[in-house]
């Protein structure tokens, strides 16, 4: 067993931080938290009673005056758009996809190009302290396999989606339904260990990109292999109108996925939900569909302000996503800041719904998002120990409180303050670039 000592901060509940000064978190040999406490003796006695290795093999690692917090989770990101990060911000969604995104993704037919880009992507995920993610790759099975191997090599968690696409795109970025199913099955054979940190996730790009046959095949794969599902939902008004045209029987965009078994029949995360209205919201609640809120992307691709306070009040699970390259920042701490600021713009228009607090943003990025991966994102007993050690001495020049120190790190900090990263109990070294 390992015991880590530091100032420990996390969000068991969304409305408040747990703040434990000079405290301890105990982690067992499986990488799970057995307890957290200000009192070492009771913590070690408790844990050893339960697990019986005794005091002797307990190693205590003292991080001194540093902060220990749960690691970040990125619930929506496109690994294959990494080259486009920070460029091409002058169009709305549908022309942006056609003009910038699809041409870039076409390059991933070349596994050499894919490896070069994906190495940098995995490295930078590590750098910003994101230990788990849900990512889109491309239609290309072999490049997707490269990305999965790189995450495995790094020891970080990722649900990786080979992207399903066969309409409204060029021939080079299109696959037949049979090819899609075969590609998935080959990845599933290699990676579908239910305990694995890296696993496939069924990923129809969005309704406009997939024929009914492809959507049906995606739903069947998810059901057959018990795989999670990710896609895009209600991001842009033109997109929503197009979905209504393509799937005229559907009662809302979410219902179009639901008809194919792609809306919570297995754990599902949907990015954006900017224009989700009552019927879609009710369906999402019934199916426990998670929202991946991507505020930077919603600003850059000019979609709109998602009603996150409403989703939280309604009890929908919500996590945060960078949505590179619609979004420009990979750093989930920055995404928290944007989520709070966007909610303040929403509030200025409609005072009926309060803006988000820091603890809510932190909770969405950690415990709420982490539930998609199992017990991840908190330091409660049984949770997998995914953690960051923050050395903020350069920001802490005037005896700030522990909570103020965390807030300043979130608003002002970057990867330079991240001193150590842990995923499932293991310290994760810098991946090779
Ligand atoms: N909808 C379908 N594909 C995409 C994508 O790559 N990015 C965003 N932001 N929305 C999408
Ligand atoms: Fe996206």
> pLDDT digits over 210-248, tens only?
999 999 999 999 999 999 999 999 999 999 999 999 999
What confidence category does residue 129 fall into, taking pLDDT thresholds of 50, 70 and 90?
A: very high
Q: What is the model's pLDDT at position 56?
A: 55
| CA of 232 relative to ligand 1 center, distance in Å | 7
Q: Which of 63, 69, 58 has its CA nearest to residue 22? A: 63
CA of 222 to the centre of ligand 1 (A): 21
Q: Report CA(306)–ligand 2 centroid distance (Å).
A: 14
pLDDT at 45: 75
Instruction: Give the closest ligand to the alpha carbon of residue 234.
Output: 1
What 8-state DSSP symbol labels residue 33?
Answer: E
What distance in angstroms lies between residue 169's CA and the mean position of ligand 1's atoms?
Answer: 13
pLDDT at 259: 98
Q: 147 and 119 in contact (C-beta within 8 Å)? A: no
Q: Are 231 and 193 in contact (CB under 8 A)?
A: no
pLDDT, averaged across the chain: 96
Q: Ligand 1, atom 7: nearest CA belongs to which residue? A: 326
pLDDT band at 50 (very low <50, low <70, confident <90, very high): low
Q: Residues 326-375: pLDDT tens digits? A: 999 999 999 999 999 999 999 999 999 999 999 999 999 999 999 999 99
Residue nearest to atom 9 of ligand 1 (CA): 326
Rounded to whole angstroms, how far apart are CA atoms 176 and 166? 7
The Cα–Cα gap between 89 and 325 comes to 9
Measure the CA–CA gap between 355 and 353, rounded to whole angstroms: 7
Q: Among the atoms of ligand 1, which is closest to the Cα of residue 101?
A: 6
Q: Does the pLDDT at position 38 exceed 90?
A: yes
The best mutation among 206, 243, 257 to test binding of ligand 1, ranked by most ligand atoms within 8 Å of the C-beta, falls on 206
How far apart are the C-alpha atoms of 152 and 135, rounded to whole Å? 14
Q: What is the pLDDT of residues 55-64, one digit of tens each?
A: 457 899 999 9
CA–centroid distance, residue 323 to ligand 2 (Å): 5
Q: Output the residue whose Cα is nearest ligand 1's atom 3.
A: 205
Given the CA of residue 136, which atom of ligand 1 is nearest to it? 6
What spacing in Å lies between the alpha carbon of 420 and ligand 2's midpoint?
Answer: 29
CA of 193 to the centre of ligand 1 (A): 28
Q: From the CA of 206, give the closest atom in ligand 1.
A: 2
> Are the beta carbons of 50 and 30 closer than 8 angstroms?
no
Distance in angstroms (rounded) separating the CA atoms of residues 239 and 357: 31
- The pLDDT of 313-324, averaged and rounded, is 98
Counting beta carbons within 10 angstroms of the beta carbon of residue 224, is it exposed (0 to 12), middle (13 to 18) or buried (19 or more)?
exposed
pLDDT band at 433 (very low <50, low <70, confident <90, very high): confident
Ligand nearest to the CA of 208: 1
Kind of pairing between the strands at 318-320 and 387-390: unpaired
Q: So what's the pLDDT on residue 44?
A: 81
Look at strands 2-13 and 59-70 and give their pairing. parallel
Q: How confident is the model at residue 41 (pLDDT cuts 50, 70, 90)?
A: confident
Tens-place pLDDT, residues 155-212: 999 999 999 999 999 999 999 999 999 999 999 999 989 899 999 999 999 999 999 9
Query: Which protein residues are within 6 Å of ligand 1, measured from CB?
Result: 78, 93, 97, 101, 205-206, 232, 235, 297, 301, 323, 326
269 alpha carbon, closest ligand: 2
356 CA from centroid of ligand 2 (Å)? 23
Q: Which one of the ligands is nearest to 236 CA? A: 1
Residues facing 421 on adjacent strands: 388
Q: What is the 3-state secondary structure (H, E, C) of 280-305?
A: HHHHHHHHCCEEEECHHHHHHCCCCC
Shortest-distance ligand to the CA of residue 321:
2
Q: Is the pLDDT of residue 88 over 90?
A: yes
């Amino acid at each position: 067993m390992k015991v880590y000592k530091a100032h420990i901060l996390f969000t068991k509940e969304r409305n408040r931080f747990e703040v434990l000064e000079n405290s301890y978190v105990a982690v067992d040999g499986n990488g799970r938290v057995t307890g957290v406490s200000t009192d070492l003796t009771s913590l070690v006695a408790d844990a050893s009673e339960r697990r019986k290795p005794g005091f002797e093999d307990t190693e205590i690692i003292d991080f001194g005056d540093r902060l220990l917090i749960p690691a970040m989770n990125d619930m929506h990101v496109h690994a294959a758009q990494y080259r486009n990060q920070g460029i091409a911000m002058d169009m709305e969604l549908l022309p942006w996809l056609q003009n910038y995104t699809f041409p870039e993704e076409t390059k991933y037919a070349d596994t050499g190009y894919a490896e070069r880009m994906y190495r940098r992507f995995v490295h930078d995920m590590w750098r910003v302290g994101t230990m788990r993610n849900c990512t889109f790759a491309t239609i290309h099975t072999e490049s997707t396999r490269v990305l999965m191997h790189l995450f495995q090599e790094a020891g970080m968690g990722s649900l990786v989606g080979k992207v399903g696409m066969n309409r409204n795109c060029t021939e080079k970025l299109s696959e037949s339904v049979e090819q899609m199913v075969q590609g998935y099955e080959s990845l599933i054979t290699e990676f579908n260990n239910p305990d694995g940190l890296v696993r496939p996730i069924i990923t129809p790009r969005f309704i406009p990109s997939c024929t009914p046959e492809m959507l049906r095949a995606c739903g069947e794969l998810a059901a057959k292999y018990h795989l999670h599902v990710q896609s895009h939902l209600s991001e842009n008004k033109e997109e929503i109108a197009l979905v209504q045209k393509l799937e005229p029987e559907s009662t809302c965009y979410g219902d179009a996925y639901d008809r194919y078994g792609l809306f919570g029949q297995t754990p599902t995360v949907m990015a954006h939900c900017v224009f989700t209205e009552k019927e879609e919201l009710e369906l999402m609640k019934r199916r426990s569909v998670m929202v991946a809120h991507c505020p930077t992307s919603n600003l850059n691709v000019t979609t709109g302000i998602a009603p996150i306070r409403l989703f939280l009040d309604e009890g929908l699970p919500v996590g945060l996503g960078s949505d590179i390259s619609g979004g420009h920042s990979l750093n989930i701490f920055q995404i928290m800041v944007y989520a709070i600021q966007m909610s303040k713009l929403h509030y200025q228009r409609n005072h009926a719904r309060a803006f988000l607090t820091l603890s809510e943003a932190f909770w969405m990025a950690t415990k709420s998002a982490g539930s998609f991966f199992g017990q991840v994102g908190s330091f409660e007993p049984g949770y997998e120990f995914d953690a960051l050690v923050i050395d903020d001495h350069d920001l802490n020049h005037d005896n700030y409180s522990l909570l103020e120190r965390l807030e300043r790190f979130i608003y002002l900090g970057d990867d330079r303050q991240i001193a150590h990263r842990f995923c499932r109990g293991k310290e994760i070294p810098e991946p090779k670039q």
